[in-house]
A and B are shown apart, each in its own frame.
Chain A
Amino acid sequence: MTGTDTDTGATGTTADEAQTATDGGTVEGDPDVEVGENVDGAQIESNPVDRRRRIERIGVALVGLLAAGMVVFIALDWLRRYPYADASPLLETLYTATGIDPAAGVAFDQFLIAGAWLDYFLGTEVFRYAFMWRSIATGVLIGVVAPLVGTYLVHRQMALIGETLAHTAFAGVAIGLLFNAATGWEGSLLIVALLVSIVGALAVQWLTERTRTFGDVPIAIMLSGSFAVATLLISWGRGSMSIAVDIEGFLFGSLSVVTAGGARLMALLSVAVVAIVALTYKQLLFITFDEQAARVARLNVTAYNTLLIVMTAVVVVGAMQVLGVILVAGMLVIPVAAASQIARSFRETLYLSVLFGQASILGGFTFAISQSLPSGGSIIVVAIAIYLIAVALSGRSGTAISVH
């Protein structure tokens, strides 16, 4: 993964990568090459099907562009401070030589000026602030990666995993708080949450492979167990040391909780997740659809399962900032549920999940900002509204199919 070696021209690289990776959904096989005959047999219908496909593709491309733009923003936000320039004179020369030195800062300012104009036209007071853009950028990226990973999770009937890993991540936040309070270290709580969540993911994986109970029992144990540990740690920490962190922000999500570091983490995670899904789309599809046949075809099912669950942990931690521990799983599940209602193929499910996810994020943000309400709840409520519309629509197309 690039994105860490962001010294020179990193903005370009990261953005391009995100872009190609997002389009990576298109990677294999253009289904429309051989669309021709329509399922329902009626030729009259073949036009709307093509149009629907085109609209979906344009939508996904737009989401990809938006996400790439947000990654660029986050990268500019980072570069304009010339990271590590003080420590390394070489980097400093590099920044000057490549023109990043003034350019990143100038571009970032332009971004905020454009935001101010947007505020002017919308009559809002939102888009001129960098911290709002960080939240929005993080949200947009959540809207891409959460449904992407969620599509596989939901159809593997592992929807509860997201919730579990969020609780584990919360335990991670608690551990991070204590660690910081005890050592005076000022590292990011999210990094600790990420590590703990990944360990939790591997533990869930290990448990489900080794216990004979039905798959979701160890998951449920893990879910309440890690939350129990988190509450104990936090109460104990509050009693014995002075910890001043917005626990509610982590629980319910908040627009103001996203730091520059948190947004950066989300950008890196998103690029990685999108690239990995683009690369392993086929394998993940096969093990999701027919795990035993995938084993017989000598796919390393255990490795792909581990990959999927670790990606989930990663996405959950990134998404926790905006959505909160309690609501984060909704973003993995609800857009996918809506998409599965009306999609006609797995690829379409993936596309629609991302589109619905993004619509939930943007709609939720609009609602939250305009009403001064928490972002997490707003996003989930919008997602559920989309889901209900999808259910209503699928009822109609369902009869159409059965008529045929």
Chain B
Amino acid sequence: MSIVTPVVDVRNVSFAYGDSLALDDVSLTVEQGDFLGLVGPNGSGKTTLLHVMLGLLSPDSGSVELFGQPVSEFEAGERIGYVSQKATDRGGTMPVTVRECVRMGRFAHVGHGRLTDDDRRIADEALETVGIGDIADQQMNQLSGGQRQRAYIARALASEADLLALDEPTVGVDAESRDEFYRLLEALNQSGITIILIEHDIGVVTDRANRIACINTELYHHGDTESFVESEALSEAYGKTGEVVHHHH
């Protein structure tokens, strides 16, 4: 596995919003097949780091590679499935069916061309995989939070993504659906999809993820889940919000 190019390679990345530093010299690598939990207190730069990884933000310094390519030159958008924090906003007012949403996963494949029967079949299969085939014709805004997140996952699957990036996907989702949702993620990860998950509930992350990155502007921990649980990284990152801590791994 060591020869395989990492899915994401972040090197010495710093990023500031105006004067306030959001990321300070963060380096980490996401390998193929990882289930990375990205944790940290509110305002610690988790979402910023994810956006930098995906190329939504360009870092002030440092470099990011996606699948071995500099992120700014990365064109294979279909390889990434992304569920943003705000993904639910527009779905609330716009009449878009679940099937229409999932088919968007095929758009990066066909460009300006038409969707083929194959594209439609792949989208329908994705619907079945996440278990929402029966509500394919419902509107996104009529779904429960859990169902909606499944639809976004299905969109990523339809896109045949190798990397799934999720930003607090289960906010406002009831406990039972949340458990099911994470079981689904686990199954997808076992089928070979790399996952990066931002989650505020540390317990959920340590249960599911095999790697943890704990940040608060700086990176406090990056390694497997067990070593994270045993380390002090959590209390350091959460306890000293705003303070400059020199802690090197």
A interface residue numbers (CB < 8 A to B): 27-29, 31, 33-35, 37-39, 155, 279-280, 282-283, 285-286, 288-290, 292-293, 295-299, 340, 343-349, 401
How many residue-residue contacts, CB under 8 A, span A and B?
Answer: 108
Alpha-carbon distance A279/B87, docked complex (angstroms):
25
Number of chain B interface residues as a range: 35 or more
A26 to chain B, nearest CB (A): 10
Whose C-beta in chain A lies nearest to the C-beta of B51? A292
User: Is there an interface contact between B112 and A296, defined as CB atoms closer than 8 Å?
Assistant: no
Asked if A299 meets B108 with Cβ closer than 8 Å, knowing A29-B114, A345-B139, the reply is yes
B171 to chain A, nearest CB (A): 16
Enumerate chain B residues within 8 angstroms of A28, measured Cβ to Cβ.
114-115
Whose C-beta in chain B lies nearest to the C-beta of A278? B112
Alpha-carbon distance A290/B115, docked complex (angstroms):
19
B222 within 8 A of A: no
Q: A28-B115, A297-B159, A345-B137 are in contact. List 5 more A-B contacts (CB 8 A).
A: A155-B94, A280-B112, A283-B107, A289-B94, A290-B90
Asked if A155 meets B114 with Cβ closer than 8 Å, knowing A38-B137, A345-B100, the reply is no
Asked if A401 meets B142 with Cβ closer than 8 Å, knowing A38-B137, A296-B82, the reply is yes
- Which residue, B90, B95, B107, has most C-beta atoms of chain A within 10 A? B95
Q: Which residues in chain B, 129-166, are within 8 Å of chain A measured between CB atoms? A: 134-139, 142, 152, 155, 159, 165
Asked if A344 meets B103 with Cβ closer than 8 Å, knowing A292-B56, A296-B77, the reply is no
B106 to chain A, nearest CB (A): 9
B249 within 8 A of A: no
B78 within 8 A of A: yes
User: Is there an interface contact between B94 and A299, defined as CB atoms closer than 8 Å?
Assistant: no
Instruction: Choose from A27, A288, A292 the contact partner of B94 (Cβ within 8 Å).
Output: A288
Whose C-beta in chain A lies nearest to the C-beta of B54? A296
Instruction: Choose from B54, B107, B138 the contact partner of A282 (Cβ within 8 Å).
Output: B107
Enumerate chain A residues within 8 angstroms of B55, measured Cβ to Cβ.
295-296
Enumerate chain A residues within 8 angstroms of B229, measured Cβ to Cβ.
none
A23 to chain B, nearest CB (A): 13
Whose C-beta in chain A lies nearest to the C-beta of B87? A290
Alpha-carbon distance A266/B6, docked complex (angstroms):
53
A1 to chain B, nearest CB (A): 15
Closest 5 CB pairs of A and B: A298-B77, A297-B77, A296-B82, A39-B137, A345-B97
Whose C-beta in chain B lies nearest to the C-beta of A29? B115
B135 to chain A, nearest CB (A): 7
User: Is there an interface contact between B87 and A344, defined as CB atoms closer than 8 Å?
Assistant: no
User: Is there an interface contact between A298 and B75, defined as CB atoms closer than 8 Å?
Assistant: yes
Interchain Cβ contacts under 8 Å between A and B, 16 examples = A33-B120, A37-B134, A155-B93, A155-B94, A288-B90, A288-B94, A289-B94, A290-B84, A292-B82, A293-B84, A297-B159, A340-B95, A345-B97, A345-B100, A346-B96, A346-B97
Whose C-beta in chain B lies nearest to the C-beta of A340? B95
User: Is there an interface contact between B56 and A349, defined as CB atoms closer than 8 Å?
Assistant: no
B94 to chain A, nearest CB (A): 5
B124 within 8 A of A: yes
User: Is there an interface contact between B95 and A37, defined as CB atoms closer than 8 Å?
Assistant: no
Enumerate chain A residues within 8 angstroms of B74, measured Cβ to Cβ.
298
Alpha-carbon distance A170/B108, docked complex (angstroms):
39
B157 to chain A, nearest CB (A): 14
User: Is there an interface contact between B80 and A279, defined as CB atoms closer than 8 Å?
Assistant: no
Asked if A289 meets B107 with Cβ closer than 8 Å, knowing A296-B54, A401-B142, the reply is no
User: Is there an interface contact between A346 and B108, defined as CB atoms closer than 8 Å?
Assistant: no
Enumerate chain B residues within 8 angstroms of A299, measured Cβ to Cβ.
77, 107-108
Alpha-carbon distance A155/B92, docked complex (angstroms):
11
Enumerate chain A residues within 8 angstroms of B99, measured Cβ to Cβ.
31
